[in-house]
Structure 1
Amino acid sequence: MAGTKIFFHTNIRFLRERKRFSQDDLSQLIDISRIKLQALESGRTKNPSAADLVKFSEQFRISIDALLKINLPVLGELKIRELEAGNDVYMTGGKLRVLAITVDKSNKENLEYIPLKAKAGYARSYNDPQYLAGLPRFSLPNLPKGTFRMFPTTGDSMLPFPEGCDIIGHYLEDWKNIKARTPCIVVLNGMQDIVFKLVTLGTDRNILLESLNPGYQPYTVAAADVLELWQFHSYHTRVVPEPQADLQHIAGSIKTILTEIQALKSAKR
């Protein structure tokens, strides 16, 4: 779990205070000492026992996975209730509901650009307003309503998108309804990467990532390791497009001829 932040100690304190329990109240309810509870809440106990994890999970009706991996205090009350009801926060993208943004003087959201040198730090600081304030940002006309960011690409795994182009992505708050093989910028947790892939949600809390370039094999990642999904909106490049291949040119010519024939037939009627 190198590189994965654990939120257990802040989560149990948050949940206790949300229920308006004192430390004495909670320690009696789950049958642990108040001193032990203090140590767990303060983070002095780094590795809680499996038995303790089960006790907190059952008391607060929150999965052990969520207690460990999700920063519960930043979620809204509605999402906490969804977790208590057993809904899968990973596949809904619900852990991402609090998204830091920057705005211009007219209170319109900026489009932030994540340069290559900033990609390594983005996965650690993507929800930090101070970090975002230091990124290049600008406005782009004709963007639909929503939050957008621009990410540079590397490598040739998504050809015919040219290597080094910049992808503008539309932030996906809820992942449940995206279609199979939707092109997205995928921000991965920890020491992993920011990748541009075709995304398909699995039923086993995994996400399939595919390249357009058949030379690259598809692979899966755990939904819990995905921090953000940005659905492809458009791309920008300084690469001049290649001339049409012969077959493409022939197909275009045939289409033009068929259109002209259809127009002549219509004119004779």
Structure 2
Amino acid sequence: MKKEQKESLVFGSNLNFLRTRKKLSQTQLAVDLEIKRTSLIGYEKGVQPPFKVLLQLADYFGISIDALMRYNLSKLGEFELSRIDQGFDVDITGSKLRLLVTTTDKKGKENIELVKQKAQAGYAAGYNDPGFIESLPKFQLPFLSRNKTYRCFQIDGDSMPPVANGSWVTASFVEDWTKLKSGTPYVVVTKDDGVVFKLVYNKIEEEQSLLLVSTNRLYEPYLVSVNSIAEVWKFETFNGFEV
């Protein structure tokens, strides 16, 4: 399927979803937008609307054209949907969720905070708490690029060989989740499962989720909705030292 056809189908589905969510009939919405009802029916079936109508719809529902055209809004959780209802645009990139909390040394250089196994449950709850981040052990790795922000996570379990239980993974912060490369290892911080280290397959555009896969085939892959994700960190290096 061509990109334009796919976007038209996604748009039509989203238009129907948003209209239904607002409990509007096709006639009511057509009157509000000052367009023909037959045109609206066509848009909901995948007919590409003129750009002027796209702007009208984006303003009417308080959502960006990009999200309206490209992302299946019906896959969003209730929290994101309620934010749309309150006038906030949908964010599936992760970049609008929060400001990254970091610490620096006496010279103003960013530290690499250590997140031990026993601290991971606390990290999932306190990742955006400056006091909690300040309390974590810190160190520096001078060979890493200064253009990234890093964190070091202790791996829990045997799901990702050759990275063994208790090993340390140093990872760089990912701001835009839509750019995650499928088949690449990432540390994913979720509100439900805490800190996990997996191969990630990017399904944000199609399903607003990430598929998390273990290298140990005894563990089944599973999907995680972007709504339950707090942070994503890209694997940089690992070792087995003890702290």
Tell me the TM-score normalized by structure 1: 0.57
Tell me the TM-score normalized by structure 2: 0.63
Q: Tell me which of 157, 160, 168 is aligned to 2:159.
A: 157
| Structure 2 match to 1:236 | 239
1:97 deviates by 4.7
Give 3-state SS (helix, strand or coil) of 1:89's partner: coil
Q: Tell me which of 80, 84, 98 is aligned to 1:66.
A: 80
Instruction: Give unpaired runs (5+ residues) of structure 2.
Output: 1-58, 64-72
| Structure 2 match to 1:170 | 172
| Structure 2 match to 1:211 | 214
Instruction: Give unpaired runs (5+ residues) of structure 1.
Output: 1-57, 73-79, 240-269
1:95 deviates by 3.1
CA 117–68 in structure 1, closer or farther in 2 if over 3 Å, else same = farther
The RMSD of aligned alpha carbons is 2.7
| Structure 1 match to 2:196 | 195
Q: Work out whether residues 164 and 237 of structure 1, in 8 Å CA contact, stay in contact via their aligned partners in 2.
A: yes
Q: Residues 51-90 of structure 1 correspond to what in structure 2 (within 5 A)?
A: 61=62, 65-66=79-80, 68=82, 84=89, 88-90=90-92
CA 95–105 in structure 1, closer or farther in 2 if over 3 Å, else same = same
Give 3-state SS (helix, strand or coil) of 1:173's partner: coil
What amino acid is aligned across from residue 143 of structure 1 in structure 2?
Answer: L
**Residues in 2 aligned to 1:181 and 1:119: alpha-carbon distance in whole angstroms:** 24
1:66 deviates by 2.8
4+ runs of 1 displaced by more than 3 Å? 62-65, 67-70
CA 238–128 in structure 1, closer or farther in 2 if over 3 Å, else same = closer
Aligned residues: 168
**Residues in 2 aligned to 1:67 and 1:205: alpha-carbon distance in whole angstroms:** 13
Give 3-state SS (helix, strand or coil) of 2:207's partner: coil
Highest RCO, 1 vs 2 (Cα 8 Å, sep ≥ 6):
2
1:68 deviates by 4.3
| Structure 2 match to 1:259 | none
Identity of aligned residues (%): 40
| Structure 1 match to 2:228 | 225
What amino acid is aligned across from residue 159 of structure 1 in structure 2?
Answer: P
